[in-house]
Structure 1
Amino acid sequence: MSAETTGTRDFTYWRLRFRDWRQTRPFWAGLFTALGGGPIAYFPYANLKLGHLTLAMATTAGAGSLIIGVLLVTLGLTMWFQQIVRVFAGVATILLALVSIPVSNLGGFFFGFLFALIGGCLALSWAPDEPAAETESGRHTAGNQAEKPQGGEAAGVELPEQRATAAYDPGPAPWSDDVPDGIVDANGGRNSAG
């Protein structure tokens, strides 16, 4: 630490750390999935009051609604912290969202259903970034985004000098005299034609 710093980390530091964490996982898929579990689990147990009239939303499948809601929140957290199982979590989220329509008041009055469905689709479509590759200039670039030289190679055209170097060259035959000096055969003697 220098004499000018106070030793505390400011808001920008934590914001950048959160952004780096968020970009390495299906963050929005997990968020939508977890938010979808809330209305699905809540509405079957809610009592709405209209003046002096209490409207009970409880259904016979209240336990099923609670299980679906808790599973959706768990799948949302799984997408955040175990992104390797994002495909399984996405498929399970979509299936639970579809099951919530008949089980829990039309999927939490379609709010929970739509959030969970969007979260499951985002989880299935998310793919991790390719690891950053270091270029000659020392900068990091992602995957195949490395700087390409201008000319034929960047445009996908094979130049004549590239064709010549790309041809197969087996080198000198073992029985020829064109073997460079210093190459020794298996018997310990110099290669020679005789």
Structure 2
Amino acid sequence: MSAETPVQSTGTFTRLRLRFRDWRGTRPFWAGLFTLLGGIPIAYFPYATLKLGHMSIAMATTAGAGSLIIGVLLVTLGLTMWFQSATRVFAGVATILLALVSLVISNIGGFLAGFLLALVGGALSLSWVPGEPPVEAAGEHDGADAPTGEAALDGTLHGPAVTPRFPAAPHGKGEDGGADGVRAAGGHRVG
């Protein structure tokens, strides 16, 4: 392998992992994941049947249809957070409201597991903010700033840094120890 070998030698798994990481970074991924995971127990438990030997325990309630609707809506909102991140505020509020309603409708919100997951997912969706766009190269200028060296409307100066010029020596004593002040440009004391 030489120094001129292109970087294409990375494996397929590494490329897919990096693409997934880039995709995940541009949307409220964890909010959508928690919301999806919260919808599953809320929709599942009312229809589950637990078997203990020959005895079966059914968790089904009259609100089973409501639980199914809430669970499906939470899964849909989780997918919405992933694929339509512009609607993250609506999806977050709707997720929190559905999680609260699931406490009453769906076996205490899927035995609190679905409720807590959906609540955390909704809160993460509300708090997620898109990242800053990548910084442009130093030589590029998009025209948003004031022209070089001119003051903007807010009074800040944009452009190259200007270093202030100070006298050769501080007031009070010259470089030669004299008490009368600053040296002139030629090196003689100004009297």
Report the alpha carbon displacement of residue 51 of structure 1 after superposing the two structures with TM: 2.0
Query: Which residue identity is paired with 1:82?
Result: Q
Report the alpha carbon displacement of residue 20 of structure 1 after superposing the two structures with TM: 0.2
Paired position in structure 2 for 1:88: 90
1:132 to 131, 134, 152: 134
- Per-residue Cα deviation, 1:162-187 (whole angstroms, up to 9, x for no partner): xxxxxxxxxxxxxxxxxxxxxxxxxx
CA distance in 2, matches of 1:133, 1:8: 27
Paired position in structure 2 for 1:166: none
TM-score by length of 1: 0.67
How is 1:108-147 mapped onto 2 (pairs within 5 angstroms)? 108-136=110-138
Matched residue of 2:132: which SS?
Answer: coil
CA distance in 2, matches of 1:127, 1:42: 32
Matched residue of 2:135: which SS?
Answer: strand
- Per-residue Cα deviation, 1:71-127 (whole angstroms, up to 9, x for no partner): 000000000000000000000000000000110100000010010000000000000
How is 1:141-156 mapped onto 2 (pairs within 5 angstroms)? none
How many residue pairs align between the two structures?
141
How is 1:11-50 mapped onto 2 (pairs within 5 angstroms)? 11-50=13-52
Matched residue of 1:91: which SS?
Answer: helix
Matched residue of 2:60: which SS?
Answer: coil
Report the alpha carbon displacement of residue 50 of structure 1 after superposing the two structures with TM: 1.7
User: What 5-or-longer segments of structure 2 have no aligned partner?
Assistant: 141-155, 157-161, 165-191
Report the alpha carbon displacement of residue 131 of structure 1 after superposing the two structures with TM: 0.8
Report the alpha carbon displacement of residue 133 of structure 1 after superposing the two structures with TM: 1.8
User: What 5-or-longer segments of structure 1 have no aligned partner?
Assistant: 139-152, 154-158, 162-194
TM-score by length of 2: 0.68
- Per-residue Cα deviation, 1:25-82 (whole angstroms, up to 9, x for no partner): 0000000000000000000000011222111100000000000000000000000000
2:75 to 70, 73, 76: 73
